[in-house]
Amino acid sequence: MHVGHLRSTIIGDALARVLDFLGHRVIRQNHVGDWGTQFGMLAYYAFSLIDPAAHHVFSREEEQMNLSNFSIQDMEKFYIKAKQLYDSNPEFAAKSRQVLVELQSGKSRLPKLLWKEVRDQSLEHCERIYRRMGVLLTRDDVRGESAYNDDLPEVVADLDKVGLLTESQGARGVYLDEFTNKDNERAFVIVQKSDGGYLYATTDLAALRYRAVELKADRILYVTDSRQAQHFAMVFTVARKAGFVSEKVSLEHVPFGMMLGPGRTPFKTREGGTVKLMDLLAEAVTRAHSLVDEKNPDLPDGQKERIAEVVGIGAVKYADLSQNRASDYVFSWDKMLSLEGNTAPYMQYAYARIRSIFRKGESTDYTDYTDSSEIVLDHAAERKLAIKLLQFPETIGAVAAECLPNVLCGYLYELAGAFMGFYENCPVLQAGTDALRASRLALCELTARTIRRGLDLLGIETIERM
RNA sequence: GCGCCCGUAGCUCAGUUGGAUAGAGCAGCGGUCUUCUAAACCGCAGGUCGCAGGUUCGAGUCCUGCCGGGCGCGCCA
């Protein structure tokens, strides 16, 4: 995984958390690309590692080959090498495509075994990143392109059954009056190539039907980059017309802007020169660690490392989530790893400050103050903070309705800002009266709870001190 | 050609059912630690909201046209 995979992973995770929190039954679907050309080349490359001299691929003896020792240390390097060979070596490319054909037809067991091995390694790699980033996806959520392989002929047959299917120049597809092509003619959505192969529109239709019929989803969200907007608009239209999805089911593409490189050039996926996600996370944690050393040198080392991890990872995720997802995202180390201003550490810092008050006040029991206290809002800063606190529910509602995590980020930033103002102006532990002290402690408690909950919904952790 | 997205301060961006003097961060300048964490706070400076019309009591927001940028459009995903 590289930085180009960051957005869909993080945005999808945050939206799933928010919808979950609101009581919806959320079914995560990790639609991994485990069935295309790239997996053919990976599987064949894996094979060539086992036996570099091999010029033939699918003999019986080779099917017996023991694959148990096969392991891939670094899937990213592995892919780059395979890609280089694919581009430079016609023989390798031809064999890769052959592997894919064998794979999809299910004729030979060897490609299947290799494919499975490569896929497992790849998914394990993803899971390591998910765990470090605090993304809730698990292996159970993986339902990739390969899962729909057997449904593809049926999708085409069903389109034919309802009279939508047309043949043109040997390819089969659906004409849509709602869209036009380059020549201003109605669009043609191809579901089966002239050579009999299927395309991603076919897979997406199969997936759509699975989600509507089998999973009984009533709202289906597609978190992908905005370039696929038209593709999904067309696939949704076909699915409706074919009766795969009823009108009651909401189909929503949740598009986000591209990851751009320096100079606003597109970040090429599947090319060399991209920044690895693991490296990005490590760099973020390193930067956070040196900041902890600087700001709070007396903390024990173990605690510093924990803080660096939470702050660094949080900063990376927040940098992405806080921007309106429609905008293109210009990759910048400084911006992504920034720990100043409107960043996760700002909120984490506000939280840590509040927790510090409770430690100093010798009470860590949250419920001590909220239930029995009258809230006093005499100071402007108190009033401002209280109003912000009350806006939390409507904010979450808006985030869920519009699928905009940055709205939650904006809210939390305002909340943390309101607290900072309160903190500067309103002494808590040394408030004039017991009643005022109790009231302010309650405000602190409610703020801490809201910040922690809000960050949690974004997939970002909090720490007790920093 | 058609379609979608975008154009807001020097830079990066908020501003989504139209509502009062358009906000924030960074960068710049100047202040604030004898009191709960200064990873903070306060102040100053900085904008013809791409342009031109229109709707409205009211437009960054809605409509039309234009300029500029990005992306997409029958056998890749």
pLDDT digits (tens, 9 = 90+) for A191-221: 999 988 889 999 999 999 999 999 999 999 9
Question: Which two structure tokens, joined as six digits, stand for A303?
Answer: 């605690």
ipTM of the complex: 0.93
Please name the residue ranges forming H helices in A371-458. Answer: 380-390, 392-402, 405-425, 434-457
Q: Which residue has the higher pLDDT, A219 or A181?
A: A219
Give the CA-to-C1' distance from A114 to B46 in angstroms.
61
A323 touches strand B (CB under 7 A): yes
Better-scored residue on pLDDT, A138 or A365: A138
Tell me if residue A211 falls in helix, strand or coil: helix
**Burial of A409 (C-beta count, 10 Å sphere; 0-12/13-18/19+):** buried
Q: pLDDT-derived band of residue A75, with 50, 70 and 90 as boundaries?
A: low
Who contacts A98 (Cβ-Cβ below 8 Å, separation ≥6)? A44, A57
Which bases of strand B sit closer than 7 A to a protein CB? 1-6, 12-16, 24-27, 35-42, 70-77
Q: How confident is the model at residue A267 (pLDDT cuts 50, 70, 90)?
A: low
Residues 69-98 of A with CB under 7 A from strand B: none
Asked whether residue A465, judged by its CB, lies under 7 Å from any atom of the DNA or RNA strand B, the reply is yes
Residue A44 beta carbon within 7 A of nucleic strand B: no
- From residues 53-72 of A, list those within 7 angstroms of strand B by Cβ: none
A284 touches strand B (CB under 7 A): no
Q: Which residue is nearest to nucleotide B24 (CA to C1')?
A: A342
pLDDT of residue A272: 47
Please give the pLDDT value at position A373: 65
The pTM assigned to this predicted structure is 0.91
Structure-model confidence comparison of residues A146 and A39, the more confident one = A146
Tell me the pairing of strands A259-260 and A165-168. unpaired
Nearest residue to A462 (alpha-carbon basis) of A329, A360, A311: A311
Asked if the Cβ of residue A194 lies within 7 A of any atom of strand B, the reply is yes
More confident residue, A273 or A339: A339
| Nearest-nucleotide field for A33 (CA, C1') | B77
Q: What is the CA A210 to C1' B23 distance in angstroms?
A: 45
Residue A242 has a pLDDT of 96
- Cβ of A253 near strand B (under 7 Å)? The reply is no
Range picked from A35-39, A73-77, A299-303, A435-439 for highest mean pLDDT: A299-303
Of all nucleotides, the one whose C1′ comes closest to residue A311's CA is: B39
How many Å from the CA of A179 to C1' of B1? 13
Average pLDDT of every residue of chain A: 86
Lowest mean pLDDT among A239-253, A322-336, A384-398, A431-445: A322-336
Q: Which uninterrupted H or E stretch holds A188?
A: strand A186-192
Q: Which residue is nearest to nucleotide B77 (CA to C1')?
A: A200
Closest nt to residue A335, judged CA to C1' = B12
- The SS3 of residue A220 is strand
